[in-house]
């Protein structure tokens, strides 16, 4: 009896100790995971801030170059001058496209009001598209791959359908690259608590911890050909803009699983939303010959707008900051104001609000190189009629001017 009791104690003690160690290990793993996610989030936040500032600097310069080149193309007669101006225009447009990518990556607020989105519908669409493309690619090599989508009932999620489709497609494309000899790609949606999730899993080559920790960094890629793409960092930025979370688990040789977590749609998002763009307006400005106020802290932008608008017969007053613009409002009446959002001191939106309060019939156009600083709600509250995103083309400027005269909203 004594021996039996004595021999049972160590076994019980060993089991208790193993249980305790398992619990400690699990807690440590949770702490490490939370730390990695915090570091990743802060690193991406720093990258996005840098991208926003870089994009703003580029767009200020490109706005002047592009407008001057296109104005020269309209007026020049000499073939050599036309060729040179066309080359400048093309280079400026390429720079503008690059700046747009930086702007889109750096945004923390949505470009359009969120709507209620059927995530299951997006998953099925992406799965069908991927299945067709992948089957065709693999069939040429005599191998096969499977794509599955498991989509039980889900509440609608809050978001931008186009951006969420881009997220799913980008992750799926990466999964296909990880399965050059075929395999299985699966989508599965569900809900845990109040959050909706979409899991995208592949049976590919997998990734090691070192790569996993860098996978959301801008321009990071394991592919041979590198291009000017934000890759999965752009996916991360979109999910974060949606108030969601994205995680990745992987094991070398066994595959990778991405899990996207999203908040459900609010009741106010269940009705269809108006498409966003430049804002609608009922304001009318004067016919050509009106007094126009241009406010921008970039001398190049001020001067190119002054030249272009003066050529159309307008009287143009330029200011470099909000304070001097408000002083001008005390001395004369303007039918149209073009105001940069990111002014030093008083913001461009505050200048816009002041002008609208003083002259309700005036047309206000805000210009911005920061996607994040202009949203539909904020601009409507400030009385903004149109938004021009830098760098804007001469055609976009003319379109806004034409619609400003007619009182019809314009896409910018």
pLDDT tens for each residue of 312-338: 888 999 999 999 999 998 888 888 899
Longest dimension (CA), the chain: 112
291-406 shares the fold of 115-269: no
CB–CB of 154/260 below 8 Å?
Answer: no
Between CA 113 and CA 104 the distance in angstroms is 15
Q: Is the pLDDT of residue 234 over 60?
A: yes
Which pLDDT score, from 0 to 100, does residue 230 have? 60
The CATH T-level fold of domain 115-269 is Heat Shock Protein 90 (3.30.565)
> Which position has the higher pLDDT, 186 or 379?
186
**pLDDT given for residue 239 in this prediction:** 92
What is the mean predicted confidence (pLDDT) over 196-220? 85
pLDDT in tens, 50-82: 777 777 777 878 888 888 888 888 888 888 888
Structure tokens at 342: 């990111």
Mean of the pLDDT values across residues 80-89?
88
Residue 51 near residue 108, CB atoms below 8 Å: no
The span from the CA of 395 to the CA of 89, in Å, is 13
By the 8 A CB rule, do 175 and 164 touch? no
Pair of tokens at residue 59: 């767009």
Domain boundaries, the chain: 13-106, 115-269, 291-406
Class level of CATH domain 291-406: alpha beta
pLDDT of residue 285: 39
The pLDDT tens digits of the residues spanning 105-136 come to 777 677 667 889 999 999 999 999 999 999 98
Higher pLDDT, 101 or 257: 257
pLDDT above 80 (res 379): no
Which residues are bridge partners to 260 per DSSP? 198, 246
| 203 touches 181 (CB < 8 A) | no
């Amino acid at each position: 009896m004594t021996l039996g009791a004595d021999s049972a104690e160590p076994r019980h003690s060993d089991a208790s100790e193993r249980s305790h160690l398992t619990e400690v290990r699990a807690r440590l793993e949770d702490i490490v995971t939370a730390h990695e996610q915090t570091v990743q989030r802060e690193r991406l936040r720093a990258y996005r801030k840098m991208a926003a500032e870089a994009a703003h600097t580029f767009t200020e310069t490109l706005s002047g170059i592009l407008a001057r080149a296109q104005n020269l193309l309209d007026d020049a007669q000499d073939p050599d001058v036309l060729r040179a101006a066309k080359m400048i225009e093309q280079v400026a447009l390429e720079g503008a496209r690059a700046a747009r990518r930086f702007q889109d990556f750096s945004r923390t607020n949505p470009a359009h009001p969120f709507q209620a989105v059927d995530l299951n519908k997006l998953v099925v669409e992406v799965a069908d598209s991927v299945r067709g493309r992948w089957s065709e690619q693999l069939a040429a090599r005599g191998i096969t791959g499977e794509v599955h989508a498991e989509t039980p009932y889900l509440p609608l999620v809050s978001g931008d359908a186009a951006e969420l489709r881009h997220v799913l497609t980008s992750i799926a494309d990466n999964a296909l690259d990880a399965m050059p000899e075929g395999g299985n790609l699966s989508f599965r949606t569900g809900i845990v608590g109040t959050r909706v999730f979409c899991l995208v899993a592949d049976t590919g080559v997998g990734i090691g911890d070192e790569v996993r920790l860098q996978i959301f960094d801008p321009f990071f890629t394991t592919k041979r050909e590198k291009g000017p793409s934000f890759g999965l960092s752009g996916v991360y930025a979109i999910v974060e803009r949606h108030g969601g979370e994205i995680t990745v688990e992987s094991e070398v040789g066994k595959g990778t699983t991405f899990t996207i977590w999203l908040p459900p749609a609010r009741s106010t998002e269940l009705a269809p939303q108006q498409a966003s763009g430049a804002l609608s307006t009922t304001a009318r400005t004067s016919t050509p010959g009106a007094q126009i106020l241009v406010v921008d802290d970039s001398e190049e932008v001020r001067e190119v707008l002054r030249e272009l608008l003066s050529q159309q017969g307008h009287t143009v007053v330029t200011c470099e900051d909000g304070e001097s613009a408000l002083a001008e409002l005390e001395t004369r009446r303007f039918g149209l104001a073009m105001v940069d959002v990111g002014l030093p001191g008083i913001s461009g939106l505050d200048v816009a609000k002041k002008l609208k309060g003083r002259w309700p019939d005036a047309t206000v156009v805000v210009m911005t190189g920061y996607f994040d600083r202009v949203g539909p709600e904020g601009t409507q509250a400030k009385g903004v009629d149109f938004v021009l995103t830098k760098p804007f083309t001469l055609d976009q400027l003319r379109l806004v001017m034409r619609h400003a005269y007619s009182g019809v909203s314009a896409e910018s």
